[in-house]
């Protein structure tokens, strides 16, 4: 992609947009960043202008979209909005930061998508390849934007990329050598008008593949299993619940690969330190990706056995007087919250709530009744969640994370678990789910340090 002298507009001044702007400016493009937020809500504008990057804030001027040579859209900006219709009518190319990066990255790409488990799987695959001695970089929706990895990439290396549906909306020629599809459950229905539209965005990870590539698909997810016809790549299925004719699966306490009628045991479930049945799904997908990339199984077995939970994903946050605290702030949808609750046998005081994404919270009812003592509600969705869970367990509304942690501890007994599994986005009270998780852990730390009356 030749960018020198081109008029390129970056839409969205978030992390990936800024990274793309600096990358393109360094290669001689005439770069403009456009964001609907007013200038006073954006940081770093003067620094951008000093190096020659123009900033247009507060609106999306029609002329800007119609006269660009290329628009690079940030994941948080919906492609269905009107300014992109203006650009399409004018024949302007529209790509995302992921697509931009893929045109410059050297090496091969492992792409991971799905509603839940992306970050754990992406992190684990990165460690599986790195500990096996393969050159690897990790980024995308986790850590560094992919465009920031271009200079470090090398022809003999692997780029392991977490890819969200928002990122995959804006790809056209993305070629993923190893595509991993974990699961598709209701999420982001405030952005997509149907589950079919949401699943279609996810499926874009498969469209640029060739016959020499690999697609790793969850055999237990009907939407994903039905997508094999979308790619000419070799398909490898995985299942944590049943034996497969071909693929990776659990049989008793063994993780087994079956290929061409030949079986081999890869490791035992006892060697997997991660809590929760959903993490078995993540490990199976990661092992399949590692094998596809050429990692040795002995090395991968050691790496899996030493792998720790990723921050904000069923992360142990401390114990106070026999009560455990777990931070699953990344449980930003109902299915993720269900998986979080399933990871504990009972005695749960769960903290739910945040910004609603058009979710139906009623699927939580059964697990709330079976495993929870109390439900603590926070955030703008508290009333909706409370209505959906009425008649299950005692519900209490609180106004802050500090109050939620303190009240959770007061309602607990030794042996119980206070679990942050919000089932919602974080943007009503926090900058992002990481901020929410950090505040939860900080409040647990404060509670642990505070003097308490004996129980």
Catalytic machinery residues: 118, 141, 188
Sheet containing 136-140: give its strands across.
136-140, 158-162, 108-113, 178-181, 214-218, 234-239, 247-251, 254-259, 262-268
- Phi and psi angles of residue 28, each rounded to the nearest 5 degrees, phi first: 90, 10
CA 275 to chain centre: 18
Here the contacts of 360-363 (C-beta below 8 Å, separation 24 or greater) are 360/186, 360/334, 360/388, 361/334, 361/385, 361/388, 361/389, 361/423, 362/388, 362/389, 363/334, 363/335, 363/338
**What's the CA gap between 240 and 224, in Å, rounded?**
15
**What's the CA gap between 375 and 135, in Å, rounded?**
46
Token pair listed for 389 = 């869970």
Please report, for the chain, how many H helices and E strands are present, in that order.
Answer: 16, 20
- Phi and psi angles of residue 280, each rounded to the nearest 5 degrees, phi first: -65, -40
Going 30 to 36 to 39 to 45, the CA torsion angle's sign is negative
DSSP, res 24: H
Cα angle 205, 2, 80; round to 5: 45
**What's the CA gap between 130 and 271, in Å, rounded?**
19
* Sequence-distant (≥ 6) Cβ neighbours of residue 15 within 8 angstroms: 145
Q: Which position has the token pair 């106004």?
A: 399
**What's the CA gap between 34 and 62, in Å, rounded?**
11
**What's the CA gap between 267 and 255, in Å, rounded?**
5
Instruction: Write the burial class of residue 33 (CB in 10 Å: 0-12 exposed, 13-18 middle, 19+ buried).
Output: buried
H-state helical runs in 132-262: 165-169, 195-203, 222-225
């Amino acid at each position: 992609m030749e960018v020198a002298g081109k008029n390129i507009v970056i839409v969205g001044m978030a992390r990936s947009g800024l990274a793309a702007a600096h990358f393109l400016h360094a290669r001689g493009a005439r770069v403009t960043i456009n964001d609907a937020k007013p200038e006073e809500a954006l940081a770093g504008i003067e620094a951008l202008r000093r190096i020659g990057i123009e900033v247009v804030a507060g609106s999306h001027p029609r002329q800007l979209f119609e006269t660009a040579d290329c628009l690079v859209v940030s994941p948080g900006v919906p492609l269905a909005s009107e300014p992109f219709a203006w650009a399409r009518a004018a024949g302007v190319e529209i790509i995302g930061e992921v697509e931009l990066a893929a045109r410059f990255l050297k090496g091969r790409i492992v792409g991971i998508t799905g509603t839940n488990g992306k970050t754990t799987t992406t992190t684990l695959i990165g460690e599986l390849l790195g500990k096996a001695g393969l050159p690897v970089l990790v980024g995308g929706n986790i850590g560094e934007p992919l465009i920031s990895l271009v200079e470090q990439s090398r022809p003999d290396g692997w780029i392991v990329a977490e890819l969200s549906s928002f990122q995959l909306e804006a790809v056209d020629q993305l070629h993923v050598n190893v595509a991993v599809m974990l699961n598709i459950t209701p999420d982001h229905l405030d952005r997509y008008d149907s589950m079919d539209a949401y699943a279609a965005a996810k499926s874009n990870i498969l469209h640029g593949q060739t016959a020499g590539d690999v697609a790793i698909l969850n055999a237990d997810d009907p939407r994903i299993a039905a997508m094999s016809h979308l790619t000419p790549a070799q398909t490898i299925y995985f299942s944590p619940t049943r034996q497969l004719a071909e693929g990776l699966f659990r049989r008793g306490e063994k993780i087994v690969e079956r290929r061409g009628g030949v079986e081999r045991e890869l490791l035992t479930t006892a060697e997997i330190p991660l809590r929760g049945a959903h993490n078995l799904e993540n490990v199976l997908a990661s092992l399949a990706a590692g094998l596809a990339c050429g990692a040795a199984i002995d090395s991968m077995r050691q790496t899996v056995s030493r792998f720790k939970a990723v921050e904000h994903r069923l992360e142990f946050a401390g114990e106070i007087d026999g009560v455990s605290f777990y931070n699953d702030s990344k449980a930003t949808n109902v299915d993720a919250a269900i998986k979080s609750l399933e990871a504990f046998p009972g005695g749960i005081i769960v903290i739910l709530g945040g910004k609603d994404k058009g979710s139906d919270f009623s699927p939580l009812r059964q697990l709330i009744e079976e495993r929870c003592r109390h439900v603590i509600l926070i955030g703008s969705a508290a009333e909706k969640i409370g209505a959906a869970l009425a008649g299950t367990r005692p519900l209490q509304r609180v106004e802050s994370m500090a109050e939620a942690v303190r009240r959770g501890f007061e309602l607990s007994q030794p042996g119980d678990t206070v679990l942050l599994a919000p089932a919602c986005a974080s943007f009503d009270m926090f900058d992002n789910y990481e901020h929410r998780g950090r505040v939860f852990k900080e409040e647990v730390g404060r509670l642990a340090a505070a003097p308490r009356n004996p129980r």
